[in-house]
């Protein structure tokens, strides 16, 4: 389990969804930092993504299920990115202006990690299929 590269990618995606997203501000609106836990839609989507990453990480014996869970997790991150972009576009300028935080880039990094994990899972599945053909 831990010797496979997709495990590393899934752990990074979990850490981004579960830990970093709640520690770094998503954006600054009128001088106050908006974190993922301050908005219910962000906290639900990040929590669901973290849970899917853990379930995918623990289902290492079933590569097809792991691949499907990775795709579902990517879909959740795309929805999260859409909600985040909608929120960022509707920010009021205000006297201090609005600033995008590092938390607004987390879904993009997570999507890249999950896509790399799915690529590695697919490569493992193809390797197992090729060995089965030889037998």
pLDDT (tens digit per residue) in 25-45: 887 777 777 788 888 888 899
Question: What is the C-alpha to C-alpha distance for residues 20 and 112, in angstroms, rounded to an integer?
Answer: 16
Question: What domain range is 82 assigned to?
Answer: 5-130
Residue 99, strand partner residues: 28
Establish if 66 belongs to a structural domain.
yes
Summarised one tens digit per residue, pLDDT across range 62-118 is: 999 999 999 999 999 999 999 888 888 877 665 555 577 777 888 899 999 999 999
Q: Quick check: is 107 in a domain?
A: yes
Q: Which of the residue ranges 100-104, 118-122, 129-133 has the most confident prediction, judged by mean pLDDT? A: 118-122
- Domain-located, residue 99: yes
- Classify residue 84: in a domain, yes or no: yes
Is 67 among the domain residues? yes
CA 66 – CA 117 distance, rounded (Å) = 10
pLDDT at 121 > cutoff 80: yes
- The reply to whether 15 falls in a domain is yes
> Do the beta carbons of residue 46 and residue 80 sit within 8 Å?
yes
For residue 99, give the nearest of 11, 32, 19, 10 by alpha carbon: 32
User: Is 16 a residue whose pLDDT tops 60?
Assistant: yes
**Domain membership flag for residue 135:** no
Query: b vs e for 3-42, b when ≥16 Cβ sit within 10 Å of the residue's Cβ?
Result: eeebbebbbbbbebbbebbbebbbbbbeeeebbbeeeeeb
Predicted local confidence at residue 64, as pLDDT:
92
pLDDT at 98: 59
Phi, psi of 95 (to 5 degrees): -70, -30
Contact in structure between 7 and 111 (CB atoms under 8 Å): no
The pTM (predicted TM-score) of the whole model is 0.87
Total structural domains within the chain: 1
Query: Would you say the C-alpha torsion 37, 38, 44, 45 has a positive or negative sign?
Result: negative
């Amino acid at each position: 389990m831990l010797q496979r590269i997709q495990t590393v990618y899934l752990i990074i995606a979990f850490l981004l969804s579960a830990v970093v997203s709640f520690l770094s501000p998503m954006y600054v609106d009128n001088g106050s930092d908006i974190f993922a836990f301050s908005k219910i839609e962000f906290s639900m989507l990040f929590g669901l993504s973290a849970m899917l990453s853990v379930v995918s990480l623990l289902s290492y014996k079933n590569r097809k299920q792991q691949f499907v869970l990775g795709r579902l997790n990517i879909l959740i991150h795309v929805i999260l990115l859409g909600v985040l972009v909608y929120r960022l576009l509707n920010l009021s300028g205000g006297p201090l202006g609005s600033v995008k935080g590092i938390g607004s880039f987390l879904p993009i990094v997570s999507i890249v990690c999950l896509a790399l994990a799915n690529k590695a899972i697919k490569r493992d599945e193809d390797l197992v299929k090729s060995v089965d053909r030889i037998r």
